[in-house]
Amino acid sequence: MGTCFSIEEEPDRSLSNPPDGGHKTSASSRNQEMANSPITKTPSFIALTAKDVKDLRQNPGYSNVDIFSYQEMRLATKQFRPDYILGDGGFGVVYKGVIDENVRPAYKSTAVAVKELNPDGFQGDREWLAEVNYLGQLSHPNLVKLIGYCCEDEHRLLVYEYMASGSLEKHLFRRVGCSLTWSKRMKIALDAAKGLAFLHDAERPIIYRDFKTSNILLDEDFNAKLSDFGLAKEGPMGDKTHVSTRVMGTYGYAAPEYVMTGHLTARSDVYGFGVVLLEMLLGRRAMDKSRPSREHNLVEWARPLLIRNKKLMRILDPRMEGQYSARTAMKVANLAYQCLSPNPKGRPVMNQVVELLETFQTKARDEETMINSGGSGITLYEAPSKSSPHSGNPARSESHRETSAAQGSKLENERSKSELPKEVDLYDPPSFEAEEPTKG
């Protein structure tokens, strides 16, 4: 798990790691309609947001969020039974529970995850309230559903839908039996990207600020949703380019310009997305002190290799071997490379990321089908091209030309807004460059 950090004047507001396994949410039949409904947005957060707990109590809430008593929370979790614990962290403990007619008369039985804030922990009322404010107003298939909260006396609890498969972190970094195929990883990446794009597209953009594998939760069908909005922040408005804020987050995931200056933009989230995409490609953690020293920081070690030929194939997660084509892997690696650009303006916007991943996912499904059926039309590992150092990229196939032309005309304006560097084309990465033969 990443090491969390906070550079601030208020030491009691620092961030802690999420619970082991990341079970912060849950899937309930009560909220299944939300997953199939159109995306909804709130016009603004300014008029509706409670400024503190006292304000929340006086203006108790949002129409789609239930307010529970502490006694109801005790009943839902069987008196907070130890064997109901899903995980714990600096903020407190997360319990699995059920809210039904035994908890509240006529309440439809709903599986939930109950997060109880530890009053002596790293998170305080500010982070707890941020989750109520944001998730109380937002509704999207790729954001975890906040069912309700408890704010009675000193007690602070949040009630989420239960996510049966736990966190991406749990599945991606398990030592044995990883069930995340290439196509599943691409689907999870797309779901998470859609969640971020939704936040960034709000009337006043919302910067998530804590994008990492432990905050991406999976339901029983491995649909991904973003959880834990304690560090979410409203983005810049008007002619402002950034918001200045205390530096908080997790080592290895936070954008370098944010760590250095405290200047926060939506592209800070794009960097975090790039880190997670890199973790999914390689099956390695963003920070891992158990590896050789030069490999401790995954981005510093692996980013230069993402646009190299055989080196990329050597570092991809071996548990996915045979599930993808070299061409598709190269495209996804190139996307991660761009998201991790040290220059924020060199990163794509999340809408671009979504569109590209949708294309990759379609191709991945087709490739997996062909591979499973024993089709011979897929080249799993392409030989590197032997072009000279001064030659351009090899000619593209006619079908690829047509695809690129269609995408290029549609996305030209968005690309110019992103100010992508010319060294690597986001939509048509260069072919692998040939490595020098090993001597001896």
Answer with the residue of higher pLDDT: 264 or 397: 264
Mean pLDDT to the nearest integer, 187-209: 94
Helix axes 350-372, 398-418, angle to 10 degrees: 150
Is the pLDDT reported for residue 42 higher than 60? no
| Structure tokens that stand for 98 in this block | 């059920």
Total-model pTM: 0.75
Mean pLDDT to the nearest integer, 67-92: 91
pLDDT of res. 160: 95
Residue whose structure tokens are 């072009």: 387
CA distance 272 to 104: 40
Is the pLDDT reported for residue 248 higher than 50? yes
Answer with the residue of higher pLDDT: 243 or 344: 344
Active site annotation includes 210 = yes
HSE-CB at 56 with a 13 A cutoff on CA atoms is: 25
Is the pLDDT reported for residue 8 higher than 90? no
Phi-psi region of 60 (alpha: psi -120 to 50; beta: other; left: phi over 0): alpha
Q: Choose the weakest-confidence range: 216-220, 236-240, 292-296, 303-307.
A: 236-240
Mean pLDDT to the nearest integer, 50-77: 81
Question: Per-residue confidence at 353, pLDDT binned at 50, 70, 90?
Answer: very high
Domains and CATH numbers, the chain: 4-162 (3.30.200.20), 167-418 (1.10.510.10)
DSSP-derived secondary structure letter, 402: H
CA distance 327 to 396: 12
Percent over 70 (pLDDT), the chain: 68
Question: Per-residue confidence at 387, pLDDT binned at 50, 70, 90?
Answer: very low
Q: What residues form DSSP beta bridges with 216?
A: 226
pLDDT of res. 9: 35
Mean pLDDT to the nearest integer, 27-42: 42
* Dihedral angle computed from the Cα positions of residues 252, 292, 173 and 95, in that order, rounded to the nearest 10 degrees: -60
* Dihedral angle computed from the Cα positions of residues 382, 383, 389 and 392, in that order, rounded to the nearest 10 degrees: -40
Is the pLDDT reported for residue 342 higher than 90? yes
Question: Which helix or strand (DSSP H or E) is residue 54 part of?
Answer: helix 53-58
Mean pLDDT to the nearest integer, 374-386: 48
Question: Per-residue confidence at 300, pLDDT binned at 50, 70, 90?
Answer: very high
Among residues 57, 58, 79, which one has the least CA distance to residue 150? 57
Cβ neighbours of 412 (radius 10 Å): 10
pLDDT of res. 119: 75
Q: Choose the weakest-confidence range: 139-153, 284-298, 396-410.
A: 396-410
Those residues with Cβ within 8 angstroms of residue 307's Cβ, 6 or more apart along the chain or in another chain: 333, 334, 337, 424, 429, 430
Catalytic residue among 20, 88, 210, 219: 210
Cβ neighbours of 154 (radius 10 Å): 8
pLDDT of res. 176: 79
CA distance 282 to 62: 41
Is the pLDDT reported for residue 128 higher than 50? yes
Those residues with Cβ within 8 angstroms of residue 300's Cβ, 6 or more apart along the chain or in another chain: none
pLDDT of res. 29: 41
Is the pLDDT reported for residue 47 higher than 70? no
| Angle at the Cα of 399 from the Cα atoms of 273 and 381, rounded to 5 degrees | 60
Mean pLDDT to the nearest integer, 116-139: 81
**Binding region for ATP:** 115
Answer with the residue of higher pLDDT: 152 or 91: 152
Is the pLDDT reported for residue 384 higher than 90? no
Q: Choose the weakest-confidence range: 9-18, 186-195, 270-279, 418-427.
A: 9-18
As a whole number, the mean pLDDT across the chain is 78
CA distance 375 to 243: 52
**Binding region:** 115
